[in-house]
A and B are shown apart, each in its own frame.
Chain A
Amino acid sequence: MFIYALKRLIYVLPVAIGVSLICFMLVHIAPGDPLISVLPPDASADLREQIRRSYGFDRPLPIQYWIWLKNVFQGDFGTSIATGRPVVEELRKAIGNTIILSLIATLIGFFFGSLFGFVAGYHRDTVIDKIASFISVIGVSVPHYWLGMVLVIIFSVQLGWLPATGAGPGGSSAWVWDWTHIKHLILPAITMSVIPMGIIARTVRALVADILSQEFVQGLRAKGLTDRGVLRHVIKNTAPTALAVMGLQLGYLLGGSILIETVFSWPGTGFLLGQAIFQRDIPLLQGIILVLAMFFVFLNLIVDVLQSALDPRVQRG
């Protein structure tokens, strides 16, 4: 188990280095002089020179990468062009909001996804199965940013029940667990939950159908095991995989929240990323991408190790 975790970690390191390399290159694939893409247009000659030196733009690329990586490890992700504040500061404010949103969305998605998947798998090849499966096809096909808009139209514009944008009253971005704040969370969380729901439903359906068709379950039934006993058995056997899928989906939502956060002006990393793109704030863009991608890489690692702890058969070579 420990060896396996260590092996996975060693395997992840080159991937992490590669990911950081891609993030580093973002500044350089931006058209024009990289200096221009990390500087505000009205920068003074002094600042220009200072930035040029601190990024090492006059040095060869590998050395630039090394300087950048060293800075990143010291917590220096550069300075946002738009606000003039360190990227780290901007990120720190946003990341908590994204985690809250993604986590709640994943939980909702997991609950309904498991429910639909379970019912469909249990009643395989019946009308119920067809309906549940159709819902999951819809779940993976719907453009979620559009779904968000539709929900806003229904619940905010038409019915006026829930707020359309922001994370709290008066555009406050500091999260508190009270009803006025939770009201802001409902629509984006439901919208976001559609993505993991479809995928979890598909996974659980396949797992449940597979387990129920196995001979030993039929044997248990023949031995007079009650439906509740069979149910417990099925849950015990589907849980590790379903939880692993859920973990991966959480990582995916953390990284892919930009569209939904933009629709709802949810003050998280995705919204920040949208602003960075809009203002062509490349250092901010680079910092956010790096943090989110690393989050995803290490979350995958954790899920992998946990899953193999729950079920040693799934160790990947």
Chain B
Amino acid sequence: MIEQKTIPLDEYTRSPSYWAIVLRRFSRDKVAMFALAIIILLFLVAVFAPYIAPADPLKGSMLRRLRPIGTPGLPLGADELGRDMLSRLIYGARLSLFMGITPVAIAFVIGSSIGIAAGYLGGLFNSLTMRTNDIFYAFPSVLLAIALSGALGAGVTSGLLSLTIVFIPPTARVAESVTTQVRKLDYVEAAKASGANNFTIIRVHVLGNVLGPIFVYSTSLISVSMILAAGLSFLGLGVKPPEPEWGLMLNTLRNAIYVQPWLAALPGVMIFMTSIAFNLVSDGLRSAMDIKS
């Protein structure tokens, strides 16, 4: 016990942590890095929209309705109310990303809490929460989102609420299953045997091992959420006009496909690009975390 004072604790080899290794593997994945760059770019565009957009996205002109792509002064043409398409697509990134990511983020917090608690506590609590979960899980996600926001009526809040409710059950289910696996491992038993309380065990031993897989699963939901959120607006639910949002733009331009077909398809390109970028990043994260391979 006396010698402990003499051991210098500073010079020693420290291995890179799990997350450092995952990050290094992820940064070597060219496809995923490219997709991540696109996402970062989209975020920058959304944040700095007022500085980038050449025109006011809400200001229309009856004189230049449905101008084609490449019109001088209107690089991507003008929509059915004569508003600058490029500016609307740039501003549209704000609401579209917000509507796509927020529900998954909230569902990540709520679903993980429910799932981890159910997985860790097990027993009756687990049965009750997971059986309730199954009921929501029994709906196809599109149908549930549309049913809820259809009943709640159009609007950003009702759209966000519906999508959040759609994504909580699958997140909770994944969280429950990984937590149940971790809970049975000896190191959790060992931690219990050292006298740690449940809260400490969850914080130190469970979270570090389950949040990663749940997080990756959630990132894969962002792509679905982007498509669904834009889909709600496309149906006239979700975002209300005249706000620029890609799904809503697709909806209002739908009647113009006989006049300016490619102009009408533009907002969908943005949705597609965002969705595929999130999917590729999610795939990249998944394989970066699969360290055994």
**A-side interface residues toward B, CB under 8 Å?**
14-16, 18-19, 21-23, 26-27, 29-31, 137-138, 140-147, 149-150, 152-153, 157-158, 251-252, 254-256, 258-259, 262-263, 273-274, 276-278, 280, 282, 285, 289, 292-293, 296-297, 300
Contact = CB atoms under 8 A, between A and B. Distances in A.
A276 B236 CA distance: 12
B138 A18 contact: yes
A285 B153 CA distance: 12
Contacts of A142: 272, 275-276
Given A149-B254, A256-B141, A31 B283 contact: no
Contacts of B250: 145-146, 149
Interface residues of B, number: 45
B258 A157 contact: yes
B80 to A, nearest CB: 15
Contact of A26 (B151, B235, B265, B272): B151
Given A143-B227, A259-B234, A296 B139 contact: yes
A30 B134 contact: no
Given A22-B136, A142-B276, 19 more contacts: A14-B131, A15-B131, A15-B134, A18-B134, A22-B135, A22-B147, A26-B151, A29-B151, A140-B223, A141-B275, A141-B276, A142-B272, A143-B227, A143-B272, A146-B269, A149-B250, A255-B140, A262-B234, A292-B140
Nearest to B153: A31
B135 A15 contact: yes
Contacts of A251: 140
Interface in B254-274: 254, 257-258, 261-262, 264-265, 267-269, 271-272
Q: What are the 9 closest A-B residue pairs judged by CB atoms, nearest first?
A: A146-B268, A18-B135, A255-B140, A256-B142, A141-B276, A153-B261, A255-B143, A26-B151, A277-B150
Contact of B139 (A30, A157, A278, A293): A293
Contacts of A280: 153
Nearest to A141: B276
A29 B138 contact: no
B268 A149 contact: yes
Contacts of B257: 149, 152-153, 157
A255 B227 CA distance: 16
Contact of A137 (B254, B262, B283): B283
A293 B144 CA distance: 9
Contacts of B147: 22-23, 26, 285, 289
Contacts of B143: 255-256, 258, 289, 292-293, 296
B231 interface: yes
Interface of B: 131-132, 134-136, 138-143, 146-148, 150-153, 223, 226-227, 230-231, 234-237, 250, 254, 257-258, 261-262, 264-265, 267-269, 271-272, 275-276, 279-280, 283
A31 B234 contact: no
B66 to A, nearest CB: 14
A304 to B, nearest CB: 13
Nearest to B253: A149
A153 B262 contact: yes
A146 B146 contact: no
A315 B135 CA distance: 20
B135 A153 contact: no
B265 A143 contact: no
A105 B264 CA distance: 25
A251 B143 CA distance: 11
A249 B223 CA distance: 18
Nearest to B250: A146
Contacts of A18: 132, 134-135, 138
A255 B142 contact: yes
Contacts of B138: 15-16, 18-19, 293, 296-297, 300
Contacts of B131: 14-15
